[in-house]
Chains A and B, each alone.
Chain A
Amino acid sequence: MIEWFTGVQVVVAVVAGLLCLVVGFIGRPPNDLTLGSIALVELLLVAQLVVTIVAPIVGNEPSGSLAEFYIYLISALLLPVAGGFWALIERSRWSTVVLGVVGLAIAVMTYRMGQIWFVQGTP
């Protein structure tokens, strides 16, 4: 895991989440901007998955549990897909709010992933 990349990822997820919440509460159904911001979050998660697969091979080992890390990462990868499908099925303002919730949830999960990799020791 790369520290600055994880930081960028948390910031992007927070911004995308807040953006979708605001746009949703204004009353807009999901549009290119909100769906695009969540797609960007998903893209960064896929990049994170690649980094996670490569990192231990090149000697970048997690300080905590790699299994726990992967549970977070895979759960996070599923969220934008679920939220995105939902946004395409029900075109209402609340689907945009759901996208916002997804963004913020991913921000928290990515932060936790950072803790597992960099802070959490092995017991």
Chain B
Amino acid sequence: MSENPSAPGTPGAADRADASPVPPAPARLRMTGAGRVLVAVYGILALAATGRSVFQIIDHFSAAPVAFTLSAFSALVYVVATIALIAPGRAWYRVAWTTISIELAGVLVIGTLSTFAPAAIGMDAIDPFGRDSTVWSAYGAGYLFIPLVLPVLGMLWLARHRPSALDAAVPADTAGA
């Protein structure tokens, strides 16, 4: 609303800020500029995971209860992560680290289990597009491996965008989440 990089008359401050990893303004919101794309992809994945798990649970929950519980859990994690990425403040920053760490662990653990031992989570096949798959099955192959790449991008983004120095009294504890 405030910035218009295309207007030729403006000093182009927004353009320069866009190119650097630092948000253009000392905004309280973390998610400006390129971070918005990250939030958008997170939001879409949250929507996809929620839609899928709601359908699985109301339609055929008894077919693979463990996998579908995981599916619902992953959906919840993506929803919380999306909110945490948008919301300002250090508390939400920690929540973002926590949820994104859970995502990375989830996609690695569930990806490995679903690929090499599908029976362990109550699935009969590895099919990443199958009716009993989750966003994390087969390392997210059914979602173009976005669930595998996204937490890494999210962590890089969070590491480069700590809460502003003004309110970051303890910036060193980010790895603790």
Name A's B-contacting residues (CB within 8 A).
27-29, 65, 67-68, 71-72, 75, 78-79, 82-83, 86, 89-95, 97-98, 101-102, 105, 108, 123
- B15 partner residues in chain A, CB cutoff 8 A: 27
Task: Return the contact of B5 from the options A75, A92, A108 (Cβ within 8 A).
Answer: A92
From DSSP, what is the main secondary structure of chain B's interface residues? helix
Q: A86-B36, A92-B18, A98-B36 given as contacts; is B55 within 8 A of A29 (CB)?
A: no
Q: Is B131's CB within 8 Å of the partner chain A?
A: yes
Contact in complex: B37, A94 (CB < 8 Å): yes
Q: A29-B5, A65-B59, A93-B5 given as contacts; is B144 within 8 A of A108 (CB)?
A: yes
From DSSP, what is the main secondary structure of chain A's interface residues? helix
Number of interface residues of B (CB under 8 A): 29
Contact in complex: A92, B33 (CB < 8 Å): yes
Contact in complex: B59, A68 (CB < 8 Å): yes
Q: Is B43's CB within 8 Å of the partner chain A?
A: yes
- B131 partner residues in chain A, CB cutoff 8 A: 123
- A79 partner residues in chain B, CB cutoff 8 A: 44, 47
Contact in complex: B5, A71 (CB < 8 Å): no
- B6 partner residues in chain A, CB cutoff 8 A: 27-29
- CB nearest neighbor in A for B47: A75
